[in-house]
DNA sequence: GTTTGATTACTAGAAAATTAGTACTTCATT
DNA sequence: AATGAAGTACTAATTTTCTAGTAATCAAAC
């Protein structure tokens, strides 16, 4: 516990959290196995970062016969929200509309995607009304 | 010129780029003046980072009687797009729809904002059709 | 009970990012 | 020409992040 300077993860921390969110819960070895495998890292490197994540409060740990089993203390959706808020704040003046505007003027966004996005918005509007 | 390892900016680089985008063009002193002012930094710190940004190709520089005057080589909108793509890739499986879904389930999003977002989407759809 | 294997804790070093000092250059002013 | 002011280039130190080694612990297998 303790530490928690920033509410945002560093690059490597995020990579490991993604692995943990993927598997739900797991030991250092499990997490190492769930990593993208691009980079190849020492067991102790993963263990060290997991401990840091524990210190920062992003995960919790439980001992299961000798080994630590980690679980997310922050949900992925929660962190996604944080990331969006963070990006919105730094680059879009805190207005999500500006963010969406930039998103949809991306050329390689297919018609289907746009349509899907429209449906998401419409659903949300209907939910508010109802 | 040269350098350009990552296409993404570091935190401090981004902070300075935002200042430069704000003023359009300016000397180290101008940029220093346009910073949020939260942090207070030495003149030479700003100068060093601006040189790095030049090396990486994010800005261009021109001498105007002795002093360097910097201009963005990457538009803010371009970098906004990059950032969104980056976030979408790491955290939303590369699907912008998932990103939007997360964005709109943010509670402190007002009805007006949602409505605005809807209009942005609808406009984009109409543009595609026509 | 000793060895082996797996794991954590601690430590440290490498790499990347940030900050800023010092020396040098150049121009304007005296 | 000497002095001072402003700026850049170079260098270096600090901080943060990332990586991994070593030692200690503990349980199981022999």
CATH of the domain at A43: 1.10.10.10
Q: Mark whether A86 and A99 lie in a shared domain.
A: no
Chain A CA closest to residue B101: A120
Minimal CA separation from A65 to chain B, in Å? 33
Domain total in chain A: 2
- Report the DSSP beta bridge partners of residue A64: A67
State the count of interchain CB pairs (< 8 A) between A and B: 108
Q: Mark whether A78 and A117 lie in a shared domain.
A: no
Q: What percent of chain B is predicted at pLDDT more than 70?
A: 95
Domain that holds residue B114: 93-130
Asked if strand C comes closer than 7 Å to A67 Cβ, the answer is: yes
Minimal CA separation from A63 to chain B, in Å? 29
Write the CB contacts of A86 (distance below 8 Å, at least 6 apart in sequence): A8
Nucleotides of D under 7 A from a protein CB: 6-12, 17-22, 26-28
Exposed, middle or buried: residue B85 (CB in 10 Å: 0-12, 13-18, 19+)? middle
Asked if strand D comes closer than 7 Å to A38 Cβ, the answer is: no
pLDDT reading at B65 higher than 90? no
Pair of tokens at residue B128: 């595609």
Q: What is the pLDDT of residues B19-64, one digit of tens each?
A: 999 999 999 999 999 998 788 999 999 999 999 999 999 999 999 9
- Report the DSSP beta bridge partners of residue A96: none
pLDDT at B129: 76
Q: Mark whether A120 and A71 lie in a shared domain.
A: no
More confident residue, A62 or B106: A62
Q: Does the CB of A6 have a partner CB in chain B at under 8 Å?
A: no
pLDDT reading at A1 higher than 70? no
Q: What is the pLDDT of residues B90-99, one digit of tens each?
A: 999 999 999 9
Exposed, middle or buried: residue A74 (CB in 10 Å: 0-12, 13-18, 19+)? middle
């Amino acid at each position: 516990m303790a530490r928690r300077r920033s509410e945002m993860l560093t690059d490597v921390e995020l990579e490991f959290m993604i692995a943990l969110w993927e598997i739900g819960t797991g030991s250092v070895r499990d997490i190492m196995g769930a990593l993208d495998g691009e980079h190849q890292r020492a067991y102790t490197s993963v263990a060290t970062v997991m401990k840091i994540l524990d210190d920062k409060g992003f995960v919790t740990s439980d001992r299961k016969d000798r080994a630590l089993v980690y679980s997310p203390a922050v949900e992925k959706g929660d962190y996604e929200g944080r990331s969006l808020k963070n990006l919105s704040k730094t680059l879009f003046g805190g207005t999500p509309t500006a963010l969406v505007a930039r998103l949809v003027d991306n050329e390689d966004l297919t018609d289907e995607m746009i349509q899907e996005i429209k449906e998401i918005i419409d659903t949300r509007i209907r939910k508010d009304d109802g």
